[in-house]
Amino acid sequence: MNTYPPEKIRNLVLLGAAGSGKTTLAETMMFEGGVIKRRGSVDEGNTMSDSHPLEKEKKHSYFLTLLHTDWRGHKLNILDTPGYDDFIEAILAGAKAADNVLLVVNAQHGMEVGSEILWRYVEPFNRPAVIVVNQLDHEKANWEETLESIKHKFGDKAVVMQYPVNPGTGFNKIVDLLKMTMYAFGPDGGKPEKKDIPPEEQERAGELHNQLVEMAAINDDSLMEKYFEQGELSEDEMREGIRKGMLAGDIIPIFCVSAARNMGSGRLMSFISNVTPSAKDAHPWKTEDGKEIVGQPDGDPILFVFKTHLEHHVGKISYFRTVSGVVHAGDELLNTTTDEKEKLPQIYSPNGKERTAVPAIPVGDIGAAVKLKNTHTNNTLTKGGNKVRIEPIPFPQPRIRVALEVVKQGEEEKLAAALHALTEEDPTLIVEHSHELKQIILYGQGELHLGLAAWRIQHEFGVEVKFVEPKIPYRETIRGEGRAQYRHKKQSGGAGQFGEVHLYVEPHDENRPEKSDFPIRGKEEIDLEWGGKLVFYNCIVGGAIDAKFMPSILKGILGKMRDGLLIGSPVRDVRVYVYDGKMHPVDSNDISFQIAGAQAFRQAFEQAQPIVLEPIYEVTVYVPEAMLGDVMTDLQSRRAMIMGIEADKNFQRIRAEVPLSELYKYSNTLRSLTQGRATHTRRFLRYQPVPGDVQQKLLKEAAASA
């Protein structure tokens, strides 16, 4: 297998809404590069990209697929991604590994909301982009409306490189504005015939060519000066200006293709190999502390693991990008993230489900290693004493949660193994074994995301599961003050038990002054494992309770706080002052004071205006303006507090604070309300008191289940 220097490598991530034709374009590029002899199709389920059984069945991409082909001495690494933001992990992994974005736009629908949503995630990577308008042969293809939608999104930086002469069912001609040539395709596509631009198209082509020349000149002072002097640039000069403009983010070229009929793909691949930034020219990678890494072919090897995949009969496959140096088979590297050593007995060049063993993966290229024990997604591996860590992929917070149960009892261990495997692959899939709620909580990005997880658990791991509504992790606290004393006394022959505790409770707030009524002899501030704090004060004077029993009193109080006193949810943010008590010289022991402390706390808590707290999430909804009203109405029905609405490019952005109990299946509702045109993010914000009617309902439910 050929080895390519970084200037001959182009790393491309295919981005676009579902149905835009990314997989078909990738298949055609593989065919044009000679990797495959016959093009497969999504409908027939035989493409190189969609190899998973579920992808074949549903005819959609759900996973990141790594492909590569050769085009005139250049290696094109193609990272095909899903078209739904439910699978944002695969999309972000592809964007991290790539140097350029190919944004595929369906000519029937223009710049769809799905593409805009995906672009919002990828835009912070600052990758040069090319827009590929696909499906121009469809009867509903509309070039002018598609172009208008692209311009509306990207403005003047979106520059027409080509336009279709006859979009629609008869599509077979493209005018190329860089070469000022018309390409005419036969009925089977492939290599076109080069023709002069027809007279009726010359004025239009001339105007668009001049716009392209101006955009190319803007990004280079010497080109601008030459353009002013001569009024024209050579083809090579335009290429250089466009390349610089792409790197600066000021130019996004627009190309025309019919991937299904193999029209325009060869010209697109030539532009990619001749103009788009190479692995050598691309923006340098950065470390966690923001320093740039200049990838050197002869430097110490540095690789970054951007994706993990588990495959039956193979094990864990780690996909990596070589950021500097050359990674060789047999290298022993240091994982600077885990501080563990890893040996790479073999490395591979991945191409769909196929992997070819290779001796080395040079800087700028993409490879794979198998069965790395201590290496995971977002890890950096180095050699030569270099302990650099690459800036990790910023995966988003979950947007949906469900509880997971096995259908057949006794398969809990198999489920645990399946969940461990899936979360190793996908960091946006999060599992919580909640002892508090007595549920397995599965967090993800949407219904499709969790549905895929359930399918894989059943079909790949043999465990049938069902989703149920997750419980809410309520908390309890107090609004007032309470004072109580409790004597524990037990005599049953032999050694007895005796302990008496007097204590006072109040809410804990950083701004609330400490109680001055008691002489504070000791203070312990405890960060509770379920959130919030307990501040425990020893105010004993005169030896009423020996200091050795104070930990037992604290243990008893913590036990009551963990179990809850209103609805069985943990207590948080309380101060406890132990100010008096009694002990017996013989019968007092640890268990006596543990019980006395717990019961005294219970009585004081009940006096102190106890309340239930609920988790509040900050929800940000991105929605087209026409659908703003429906989304707002739905949010208000969920007890949401609207914090602000502002324009965000082509969307309205709603910021709201919403109780977690009102967010179950919100992703479904939002998709239904907006026909899939809106998306949302959420993050935990704080706990706050539930309304009175909600508290009464929770108290009744707790009493009924007691």
Please write the tens of the pLDDT for every residue from 319-371. 999 999 999 999 999 999 999 999 999 999 999 989 999 999 999 999 999 99
Number of domains the chain is built from: 5
Average confidence (pLDDT) over 296-318: 92
d(Cα 462, Cα 421) in Å, to the nearest integer? 13
> Is pLDDT at 557 greater than 90 in this prediction?
yes
Sign of CA dihedral 132, 133, 136, 138: positive
Average confidence (pLDDT) over 595-608: 98
Classify residue 559: in a domain, yes or no.
yes
Classify residue 618: in a domain, yes or no.
yes
| Interacting residues of 197 by C-beta distance below 8 A, sequence separation 6+ | 175, 180, 181, 182, 205
Q: Residue 142 belongs to a domain with what CATH number? A: 3.40.50.300
pLDDT at 262: 96
Phi/psi for 3 (5° steps) reads -110, 135
Average confidence (pLDDT) over 532-555: 96
From residue 235, alpha-carbon distances to 157, 205, 238 in Å are 20, 15, 5
Residues 323, 445 share a domain: no
For the chain, give the mean pLDDT: 94
> Is pLDDT at 600 greater than 90 in this prediction?
yes
Q: Are 502 and 580 a contacting pair, CB within 8 Å?
A: yes
Residues 145, 27 share a domain: yes
Classify residue 244: in a domain, yes or no.
no
**Range list of H helices, 249-295:** 265-274
Residues 663, 593 share a domain: no
Q: Residue 559 belongs to a domain with what CATH number? A: 3.30.230.10
Q: Of the candidates 537, 572, 605, which is a domain's last residue?
A: 605
Structure tokens at 141: 């293809």
d(Cα 666, Cα 443) in Å, to the nearest integer? 13
Q: What is the 3-state secondary structure (H, E, C) of 456-493?
A: HHHHHHCCCEEEECCCCCCEEEECCCEEEEEEEEECCC
- pLDDT category, 315, cuts 50, 70, 90? confident
d(Cα 499, Cα 55) in Å, to the nearest integer? 67
d(Cα 267, Cα 245) in Å, to the nearest integer? 20
Average confidence (pLDDT) over 577-581: 97
Residues 257, 341 share a domain: no
Residue type, 254: I
Element (H, E) at 632: helix 628-637
> Is pLDDT at 1 greater than 70 in this prediction?
no
| Rg, C-alpha atoms of the chain | 32
Classify residue 168: in a domain, yes or no.
yes
| Interacting residues of 705 by C-beta distance below 8 A, sequence separation 6+ | none
Q: Are 288 and 281 a contacting pair, CB within 8 Å?
A: no
CA atoms within 13 A on the CB side of 238: 20
Nearest to residue 143, comparing CAs of 123, 118, 177, 167? 167
Residues 583, 620 share a domain: no
- pLDDT category, 578, cuts 50, 70, 90? very high
Residues 184, 326 share a domain: no
Span 402-455, pLDDT tens digits: 999 999 999 999 999 999 999 999 999 999 999 999 999 999 999 999 999 999
Classify residue 225: in a domain, yes or no.
no
- Residue 607 or residue 495, greater confidence: 607
Average confidence (pLDDT) over 114-125: 93
Span 616-647, pLDDT tens digits: 999 999 998 899 999 999 999 999 999 999 99
| Interacting residues of 304 by C-beta distance below 8 A, sequence separation 6+ | 96, 285, 320, 321, 323, 379, 380, 381, 390
Span 24-47, pLDDT tens digits: 999 999 999 999 999 999 988 899
Residues 100, 47 share a domain: yes
Residues 618, 567 share a domain: no
Helix (H, G, I), strand (E, B) or coil at 78: strand
Q: Of the candidates 545, 573, 605, which is a domain's last residue?
A: 605
- pLDDT category, 119, cuts 50, 70, 90? very high
Residues 331, 404 share a domain: no
> Is pLDDT at 555 greater than 90 in this prediction?
yes
Residues 164, 24 share a domain: yes
Nearest to residue 219, comparing CAs of 128, 335, 318? 128
> Is pLDDT at 495 greater than 80 in this prediction?
no
pLDDT at 648: 80
Classify residue 392: in a domain, yes or no.
no
> Is pLDDT at 494 greater than 80 in this prediction?
no
Of all residues in the chain, what percent carry a pLDDT higher than 70? 99
Sign of CA dihedral 695, 696, 699, 701: negative
d(Cα 504, Cα 526) in Å, to the nearest integer? 17
Q: Of the candidates 451, 471, 491, which is a domain's last residue?
A: 471
Average confidence (pLDDT) over 140-148: 97
pLDDT at 59: 87
Nearest to residue 690, comparing CAs of 443, 506, 472? 472
Residues 596, 511 share a domain: yes
**Residue 459 sits in which domain range?**
400-471
Q: Residue 405 belongs to a domain with what CATH number? A: 3.30.70.870
Burial 627-647 (b: 16+ CB within 10 A, else e): bbeebbebbeebbbeeeebee
pLDDT at 250: 95
Classify residue 235: in a domain, yes or no.
no
Span 86-113, pLDDT tens digits: 999 999 999 999 999 999 999 999 998 8
Q: Determine the straight-line distance between the first and last CA of the chain, rounded to whole angstroms.
A: 69
Residues 149, 10 share a domain: yes
d(Cα 18, Cα 108) in Å, to the nearest integer? 13
pLDDT at 493: 66
Average confidence (pLDDT) over 653-661: 97
Structure tokens at 33: 């590069």
β-pair type (74-80, 9-15)? parallel
Classify residue 147: in a domain, yes or no.
yes
Q: Are 393 and 377 a contacting pair, CB within 8 Å?
A: yes
Q: Are 102 and 66 a contacting pair, CB within 8 Å?
A: no
CA atoms within 13 A on the CB side of 183: 26
pLDDT at 102: 98
The structure's pTM equals: 0.92
Q: Residue 697 belongs to a domain with what CATH number? A: 3.30.70.240
Residue 693: how many CB atoms within 10 A of its CB?
Answer: 8
- Cα-to-chain-centroid distance, residue 164: 36
